[in-house]
Amino acid sequence: MEQWYWYQSLEEGRVRVLRVFGQESQAILPEKIASGMVAEIGDYCFSEKESLGDFGICSDGAHFQWGDDAAGIFGGQESFQGDGKFKSQGESLRNQAFAQMCQREGLHPLAGKNVTGVELPDSLAKIGNLAFYQCRELEKIVLGMGEMEVGSDVFMNCRRLSSFYFRGSPGQGSCLKQILAQRSGETAVYFKEGEQVRAALLYPEYSEHYDLIGPAHIFELNIQGEGFRARQCFQDGMVDFGAYDKIFSLEWGEESVDTLCRMASFRLQYPWNLQERERELYRIYICENIVPACEMMVRERNLSGIQALYDLGLLKSDSLKGCLERAVSANWTEGVRFMLSLREEDGRGGGDEYAFEDF
Protein backbone atom coordinates (compact mmCIF):
# COMPACT_ATOMS: atom_id res chain seq x y z
CA MET A 1 0.00 0.00 0.00
CA GLU A 2 1.27 3.43 -0.90
CA GLN A 3 2.04 5.77 1.98
CA TRP A 4 2.21 9.57 2.09
CA TYR A 5 4.54 11.68 4.19
CA TRP A 6 4.94 15.12 5.60
CA TYR A 7 8.66 15.80 5.63
CA GLN A 8 11.41 18.39 5.97
CA SER A 9 14.57 18.50 3.87
CA LEU A 10 17.82 18.60 5.85
CA GLU A 11 21.42 19.16 4.82
CA GLU A 12 23.41 16.67 2.73
CA GLY A 13 20.37 15.17 1.02
CA ARG A 14 18.76 13.91 4.21
CA VAL A 15 15.08 14.00 5.19
CA ARG A 16 13.18 14.25 8.46
CA VAL A 17 9.78 12.52 8.47
CA LEU A 18 7.10 14.44 10.38
CA ARG A 19 3.98 12.39 9.71
CA VAL A 20 2.98 9.21 7.86
CA PHE A 21 -0.39 8.54 6.21
CA GLY A 22 -1.69 5.15 5.09
CA GLN A 23 -4.71 2.91 4.77
CA GLU A 24 -3.73 0.29 7.34
CA SER A 25 -2.20 0.27 10.83
CA GLN A 26 1.37 -0.67 9.90
CA ALA A 27 3.87 2.06 8.99
CA ILE A 28 6.82 0.93 6.88
CA LEU A 29 9.26 3.75 6.20
CA PRO A 30 11.55 3.45 3.15
CA GLU A 31 15.17 4.56 3.18
CA LYS A 32 14.47 7.31 0.65
CA ILE A 33 11.60 9.73 0.07
CA ALA A 34 11.53 12.99 -1.89
CA SER A 35 15.00 12.15 -3.32
CA GLY A 36 16.50 12.24 0.18
CA MET A 37 17.66 9.61 2.68
CA VAL A 38 15.34 9.20 5.66
CA ALA A 39 17.67 10.19 8.51
CA GLU A 40 15.33 11.38 11.24
CA ILE A 41 11.91 10.75 12.76
CA GLY A 42 10.63 14.12 13.96
CA ASP A 43 9.28 14.98 17.39
CA TYR A 44 5.76 13.58 17.92
CA CYS A 45 5.93 11.89 14.48
CA PHE A 46 3.61 9.00 15.37
CA SER A 47 1.74 10.83 18.10
CA GLU A 48 -1.69 12.40 17.74
CA LYS A 49 -0.03 15.58 18.99
CA GLU A 50 2.12 17.37 16.44
CA SER A 51 5.09 19.73 16.46
CA LEU A 52 5.48 21.06 12.94
CA GLY A 53 7.07 23.93 11.07
CA ASP A 54 7.40 24.19 7.30
CA PHE A 55 7.09 20.90 5.46
CA GLY A 56 6.49 19.26 2.11
CA ILE A 57 4.18 16.42 1.08
CA CYS A 58 5.14 13.36 -0.93
CA SER A 59 4.26 9.69 -1.32
CA ASP A 60 6.42 6.65 -1.93
CA GLY A 61 6.46 7.56 -5.60
CA ALA A 62 5.79 11.27 -6.11
CA HIS A 63 5.11 14.68 -4.63
CA PHE A 64 1.54 15.67 -3.95
CA GLN A 65 0.02 17.65 -6.80
CA TRP A 66 -3.18 19.65 -6.98
CA GLY A 67 -4.55 21.39 -10.04
CA ASP A 68 -1.72 22.72 -12.18
CA ASP A 69 0.53 23.45 -9.20
CA ALA A 70 3.12 20.97 -7.93
CA ALA A 71 3.44 20.71 -4.17
CA GLY A 72 6.36 22.47 -2.54
CA ILE A 73 7.07 23.72 0.95
CA PHE A 74 4.38 25.49 2.88
CA GLY A 75 4.06 26.80 6.41
CA GLY A 76 1.61 26.99 9.25
CA GLN A 77 0.56 24.68 12.04
CA GLU A 78 -1.39 22.10 10.09
CA SER A 79 -3.11 19.18 11.78
CA PHE A 80 -4.84 16.29 10.05
CA GLN A 81 -7.08 14.77 12.71
CA GLY A 82 -8.20 11.17 13.01
CA ASP A 83 -11.84 12.15 12.51
CA GLY A 84 -11.07 13.25 8.95
CA LYS A 85 -11.17 16.99 9.60
CA PHE A 86 -8.27 19.05 8.38
CA LYS A 87 -7.45 22.15 10.41
CA SER A 88 -4.97 24.89 9.64
CA GLN A 89 -4.05 28.42 10.61
CA GLY A 90 -5.08 30.32 7.53
CA GLU A 91 -6.58 28.96 4.36
CA SER A 92 -4.42 26.80 2.11
CA LEU A 93 -5.87 25.33 -1.05
CA ARG A 94 -3.06 22.80 -1.16
CA ASN A 95 -3.77 21.67 2.39
CA GLN A 96 -7.47 21.33 1.67
CA ALA A 97 -6.74 19.37 -1.50
CA PHE A 98 -4.49 16.98 0.41
CA ALA A 99 -7.19 16.44 3.03
CA GLN A 100 -9.73 15.72 0.31
CA MET A 101 -7.36 13.26 -1.33
CA CYS A 102 -6.89 11.47 2.01
CA GLN A 103 -10.63 11.15 2.48
CA ARG A 104 -11.09 9.95 -1.09
CA GLU A 105 -8.33 7.33 -0.85
CA GLY A 106 -9.17 6.21 2.68
CA LEU A 107 -5.89 7.48 4.12
CA HIS A 108 -5.45 8.34 7.77
CA PRO A 109 -2.51 9.48 9.90
CA LEU A 110 -0.56 6.50 11.18
CA ALA A 111 -0.45 7.97 14.65
CA GLY A 112 -1.89 7.46 18.11
CA LYS A 113 -4.41 4.63 18.23
CA ASN A 114 -4.19 4.15 14.45
CA VAL A 115 -0.74 2.53 14.44
CA THR A 116 0.06 -0.99 15.69
CA GLY A 117 3.49 -1.54 14.17
CA VAL A 118 6.33 0.56 12.75
CA GLU A 119 9.28 -0.51 10.60
CA LEU A 120 12.14 1.99 10.44
CA PRO A 121 14.84 2.06 7.73
CA ASP A 122 18.54 1.28 8.16
CA SER A 123 19.35 4.86 7.14
CA LEU A 124 17.71 6.27 10.27
CA ALA A 125 20.10 8.10 12.61
CA LYS A 126 17.72 9.85 15.02
CA ILE A 127 14.34 9.34 16.67
CA GLY A 128 12.91 12.63 17.93
CA ASN A 129 11.47 13.44 21.33
CA LEU A 130 8.08 11.86 22.12
CA ALA A 131 8.03 10.32 18.65
CA PHE A 132 5.59 7.57 19.74
CA TYR A 133 3.82 9.49 22.49
CA GLN A 134 0.40 7.98 23.36
CA CYS A 135 0.59 5.25 20.70
CA ARG A 136 -1.56 3.04 22.90
CA GLU A 137 -2.10 0.29 20.29
CA LEU A 138 1.54 0.09 19.16
CA GLU A 139 2.86 -3.44 19.74
CA LYS A 140 6.19 -3.74 17.93
CA ILE A 141 8.95 -1.75 16.26
CA VAL A 142 11.40 -3.05 13.65
CA LEU A 143 14.69 -1.20 13.11
CA GLY A 144 18.24 -1.58 11.91
CA MET A 145 21.54 -1.99 13.71
CA GLY A 146 24.15 0.65 14.38
CA GLU A 147 24.26 3.77 16.50
CA MET A 148 21.21 5.99 16.67
CA GLU A 149 20.25 9.05 18.69
CA VAL A 150 17.13 8.34 20.71
CA GLY A 151 15.26 11.38 22.08
CA SER A 152 13.56 11.78 25.41
CA ASP A 153 10.24 10.15 26.38
CA VAL A 154 10.09 8.50 22.97
CA PHE A 155 7.76 5.68 24.09
CA MET A 156 5.73 7.48 26.74
CA ASN A 157 2.32 5.86 27.29
CA CYS A 158 2.95 3.11 24.73
CA ARG A 159 1.18 0.63 26.97
CA ARG A 160 1.06 -2.32 24.59
CA LEU A 161 4.55 -1.95 23.12
CA SER A 162 6.37 -5.15 24.05
CA SER A 163 8.63 -6.21 21.16
CA PHE A 164 11.60 -4.81 19.25
CA TYR A 165 13.06 -6.54 16.19
CA PHE A 166 16.57 -5.64 15.04
CA ARG A 167 17.68 -6.43 11.51
CA GLY A 168 21.18 -7.82 11.84
CA SER A 169 23.56 -9.94 13.85
CA PRO A 170 23.36 -9.87 17.67
CA GLY A 171 27.15 -9.44 17.57
CA GLN A 172 26.77 -5.91 16.16
CA GLY A 173 26.26 -2.66 18.03
CA SER A 174 22.81 -1.10 18.19
CA CYS A 175 20.70 1.50 19.99
CA LEU A 176 19.10 -1.18 22.17
CA LYS A 177 20.61 0.13 25.41
CA GLN A 178 19.15 3.62 24.78
CA ILE A 179 15.75 2.09 24.00
CA LEU A 180 15.72 -0.09 27.11
CA ALA A 181 16.62 2.93 29.24
CA GLN A 182 13.16 4.26 28.35
CA ARG A 183 11.31 0.96 28.77
CA SER A 184 10.72 -0.24 32.34
CA GLY A 185 8.02 -2.69 31.26
CA GLU A 186 8.68 -6.25 30.15
CA THR A 187 10.30 -6.08 26.71
CA ALA A 188 11.15 -8.84 24.23
CA VAL A 189 14.04 -8.22 21.83
CA TYR A 190 14.78 -10.24 18.68
CA PHE A 191 17.78 -10.12 16.35
CA LYS A 192 16.97 -11.33 12.84
CA GLU A 193 19.19 -11.95 9.83
CA GLY A 194 16.80 -12.22 6.92
CA GLU A 195 13.91 -14.34 8.13
CA GLN A 196 15.94 -16.23 10.73
CA VAL A 197 15.95 -15.20 14.40
CA ARG A 198 19.54 -15.41 15.66
CA ALA A 199 18.95 -14.36 19.27
CA ALA A 200 16.05 -13.43 21.53
CA LEU A 201 16.14 -11.87 24.98
CA LEU A 202 13.47 -10.99 27.49
CA TYR A 203 14.04 -7.98 29.73
CA PRO A 204 11.79 -8.22 32.80
CA GLU A 205 9.81 -5.33 34.17
CA TYR A 206 11.29 -3.26 36.99
CA SER A 207 10.13 -0.29 39.07
CA GLU A 208 11.77 2.66 40.77
CA HIS A 209 10.63 4.57 43.82
CA TYR A 210 12.13 6.92 46.38
CA ASP A 211 12.00 6.25 50.13
CA LEU A 212 12.19 9.05 52.68
CA ILE A 213 15.01 8.51 55.18
CA GLY A 214 14.46 10.15 58.57
CA PRO A 215 13.57 13.74 59.35
CA ALA A 216 16.39 15.16 57.21
CA HIS A 217 14.25 14.69 54.06
CA ILE A 218 16.90 12.58 52.35
CA PHE A 219 15.50 10.28 49.69
CA GLU A 220 16.92 6.91 48.71
CA LEU A 221 16.26 5.40 45.29
CA ASN A 222 15.02 1.81 45.44
CA ILE A 223 14.80 -0.40 42.38
CA GLN A 224 12.63 -3.52 42.44
CA GLY A 225 13.05 -6.29 39.90
CA GLU A 226 16.11 -7.68 38.16
CA GLY A 227 15.01 -6.11 34.90
CA PHE A 228 17.16 -3.08 35.70
CA ARG A 229 20.26 -5.24 36.13
CA ALA A 230 19.57 -7.04 32.85
CA ARG A 231 19.42 -3.69 31.06
CA GLN A 232 23.02 -2.94 32.08
CA CYS A 233 24.46 -5.99 30.28
CA PHE A 234 26.15 -4.18 27.40
CA GLN A 235 29.73 -3.70 26.30
CA ASP A 236 30.83 -1.27 23.58
CA GLY A 237 27.24 -0.85 22.42
CA MET A 238 26.69 -4.61 22.04
CA VAL A 239 24.69 -7.00 24.20
CA ASP A 240 26.89 -8.84 26.69
CA PHE A 241 25.16 -12.22 26.54
CA GLY A 242 27.46 -13.74 29.14
CA ALA A 243 26.59 -11.06 31.69
CA TYR A 244 22.88 -11.41 30.87
CA ASP A 245 22.99 -15.17 31.44
CA LYS A 246 24.84 -14.85 34.75
CA ILE A 247 22.06 -12.77 36.32
CA PHE A 248 19.45 -15.47 35.67
CA SER A 249 20.09 -17.35 38.92
CA LEU A 250 19.94 -14.04 40.81
CA GLU A 251 16.40 -13.51 39.50
CA TRP A 252 14.91 -16.76 40.81
CA GLY A 253 13.66 -15.09 43.97
CA GLU A 254 12.76 -11.79 42.31
CA GLU A 255 10.74 -12.59 39.19
CA SER A 256 7.58 -14.57 38.48
CA VAL A 257 7.78 -18.13 37.22
CA ASP A 258 6.21 -17.04 33.93
CA THR A 259 8.89 -14.41 33.37
CA LEU A 260 11.73 -16.78 34.22
CA CYS A 261 10.31 -19.53 32.01
CA ARG A 262 10.05 -17.05 29.15
CA MET A 263 13.65 -15.88 29.67
CA ALA A 264 14.93 -19.46 29.78
CA SER A 265 12.97 -20.61 26.72
CA PHE A 266 14.18 -17.60 24.70
CA ARG A 267 17.83 -18.39 25.45
CA LEU A 268 17.47 -22.12 24.87
CA GLN A 269 15.55 -21.64 21.64
CA TYR A 270 18.08 -19.12 20.25
CA PRO A 271 21.36 -19.94 22.07
CA TRP A 272 23.59 -17.18 20.74
CA ASN A 273 26.87 -17.21 22.77
CA LEU A 274 25.24 -19.46 25.38
CA GLN A 275 27.82 -21.29 27.52
CA GLU A 276 27.23 -24.85 28.71
CA ARG A 277 26.93 -24.00 32.41
CA GLU A 278 24.25 -21.39 31.80
CA ARG A 279 22.53 -23.64 29.27
CA GLU A 280 22.19 -26.31 31.96
CA LEU A 281 20.79 -23.79 34.47
CA TYR A 282 18.13 -22.74 31.98
CA ARG A 283 17.26 -26.39 31.29
CA ILE A 284 17.03 -27.23 34.99
CA TYR A 285 14.69 -24.33 35.62
CA ILE A 286 12.36 -25.29 32.76
CA CYS A 287 12.32 -28.94 33.87
CA GLU A 288 11.47 -27.97 37.44
CA ASN A 289 8.71 -25.65 36.25
CA ILE A 290 7.43 -27.49 33.19
CA VAL A 291 3.78 -27.28 34.30
CA PRO A 292 3.64 -23.45 34.59
CA ALA A 293 5.78 -23.25 31.44
CA CYS A 294 3.17 -25.25 29.51
CA GLU A 295 0.35 -23.20 30.99
CA MET A 296 2.09 -20.03 29.82
CA MET A 297 2.66 -21.41 26.31
CA VAL A 298 -1.01 -22.35 25.99
CA ARG A 299 -2.20 -19.04 27.42
CA GLU A 300 -0.03 -17.12 24.94
CA ARG A 301 -0.89 -19.46 22.03
CA ASN A 302 2.85 -19.94 21.52
CA LEU A 303 3.35 -22.75 19.01
CA SER A 304 7.02 -21.95 18.39
CA GLY A 305 7.69 -22.06 22.13
CA ILE A 306 6.06 -25.47 22.45
CA GLN A 307 8.03 -26.71 19.45
CA ALA A 308 11.26 -25.45 21.02
CA LEU A 309 10.60 -27.19 24.35
CA TYR A 310 9.79 -30.38 22.45
CA ASP A 311 12.92 -30.20 20.27
CA LEU A 312 15.07 -29.54 23.35
CA GLY A 313 13.72 -32.69 25.00
CA LEU A 314 12.12 -30.71 27.82
CA LEU A 315 8.52 -31.48 26.87
CA LYS A 316 8.40 -35.19 27.57
CA SER A 317 5.47 -37.60 27.22
CA ASP A 318 3.59 -36.77 30.42
CA SER A 319 4.25 -33.03 30.09
CA LEU A 320 3.14 -33.03 26.46
CA LYS A 321 -0.07 -34.82 27.42
CA GLY A 322 -0.73 -32.25 30.15
CA CYS A 323 -0.03 -29.40 27.75
CA LEU A 324 -2.40 -30.96 25.23
CA GLU A 325 -5.15 -31.23 27.82
CA ARG A 326 -4.69 -27.58 28.77
CA ALA A 327 -5.00 -26.61 25.10
CA VAL A 328 -8.27 -28.57 24.92
CA SER A 329 -9.61 -26.79 28.02
CA ALA A 330 -8.63 -23.45 26.51
CA ASN A 331 -10.41 -24.30 23.20
CA TRP A 332 -7.13 -23.74 21.35
CA THR A 333 -7.86 -25.83 18.28
CA GLU A 334 -4.63 -25.02 16.46
CA GLY A 335 -2.58 -25.95 19.50
CA VAL A 336 -4.45 -29.25 19.95
CA ARG A 337 -3.80 -30.24 16.34
CA PHE A 338 -0.15 -29.23 16.65
CA MET A 339 0.50 -31.24 19.82
CA LEU A 340 -1.36 -34.28 18.48
CA SER A 341 1.00 -34.21 15.51
CA LEU A 342 3.97 -34.06 17.91
CA ARG A 343 2.68 -37.11 19.79
CA GLU A 344 2.25 -39.01 16.53
CA GLU A 345 5.65 -37.92 15.25
CA ASP A 346 7.66 -40.28 17.43
CA GLY A 347 5.08 -42.34 19.27
CA ARG A 348 5.32 -40.47 22.54
CA GLY A 349 1.70 -41.24 23.31
CA GLY A 350 2.62 -44.45 25.10
CA GLY A 351 -0.13 -47.04 25.09
CA ASP A 352 -2.93 -44.54 24.70
CA GLU A 353 -4.48 -43.68 21.38
CA TYR A 354 -5.77 -40.17 20.82
CA ALA A 355 -7.50 -38.51 17.90
CA PHE A 356 -8.54 -34.92 17.47
CA GLU A 357 -12.19 -35.93 17.75
CA ASP A 358 -11.56 -37.23 21.29
CA PHE A 359 -11.09 -33.66 22.43
Mean pLDDT for the stretch of residues 189-206: 94
How far from the centroid of its chain's Cα atoms is residue 159's Cα?
11
Q: What are phi and psi of 238, to 5 degrees?
A: -115, 150
Quick one: how many helices (H) and strands (E) in the chain? 10, 22
pLDDT band at 210, cuts 50/70/90? Answer: low
Mean pLDDT for the stretch of residues 46-53: 77
How far apart CA 258 and CA 97 sit, in angstroms, is 52
Query: Does position 80 have pLDDT exceeding 50, yes or no?
Result: no
Residue ranges of the chain assigned to CATH 3.80.10.10: 1-161
pLDDT band at 331, cuts 50/70/90? Answer: very high
Max mean pLDDT range (102-111, 160-169, 255-264):
160-169
How far apart CA 31 and CA 62 sit, in angstroms, is 15
Q: Which of 28, 31, 107, 26 is nearest to 64 (CA)?
A: 107
pLDDT band at 348, cuts 50/70/90? Answer: very low
Q: What pLDDT is stored for residue 103 in this prediction? A: 87
- Tell me yes or no: is domain 1-161 CATH 3.80.10.10: yes
Mean pLDDT for the stretch of residues 105-120: 94
Q: What pLDDT is stored for residue 96 in this prediction? A: 75
Q: What pLDDT is stored for residue 84 in this prediction? A: 35
pLDDT band at 78, cuts 50/70/90? Answer: very low
pLDDT digits (tens, 9 = 90+) for 292-320: 999 999 999 999 899 999 999 999 888 99
State the DSSP code for 12.
Answer: G
Q: What pLDDT is stored for residue 55 in this prediction? A: 73
Q: What are phi and psi of 141, to 5 degrees?
A: -130, 135
Q: What pLDDT is stored for residue 289 in this prediction? A: 94
Q: What pLDDT is stored for residue 349 in this prediction? A: 47
pLDDT band at 73, cuts 50/70/90? Answer: very low
How far apart CA 43 and CA 17 sit, in angstroms, is 9
- Residue 346 — left, alpha, or beta (φ > 0 → left; ψ -120 to 50 → alpha)? alpha
Query: Does position 127 have pLDDT exceeding 80, yes or no?
Result: yes
CB 248 within 8 A of CB 268: no
Q: What pLDDT is stored for residue 74 in this prediction? A: 35
Question: Which of 62-76, 175-189, 243-257 shows the lowest per-residue confidence on average (mean pLDDT)?
Answer: 62-76
pTM equals 0.84
Mean pLDDT for the stretch of residues 24-48: 94
pLDDT band at 102, cuts 50/70/90? Answer: confident
Query: Does position 83 have pLDDT exceeding 70, yes or no?
Result: no
pLDDT band at 345, cuts 50/70/90? Answer: confident
pLDDT band at 217, cuts 50/70/90? Answer: low
Query: Does position 69 have pLDDT exceeding 60, yes or no?
Result: no
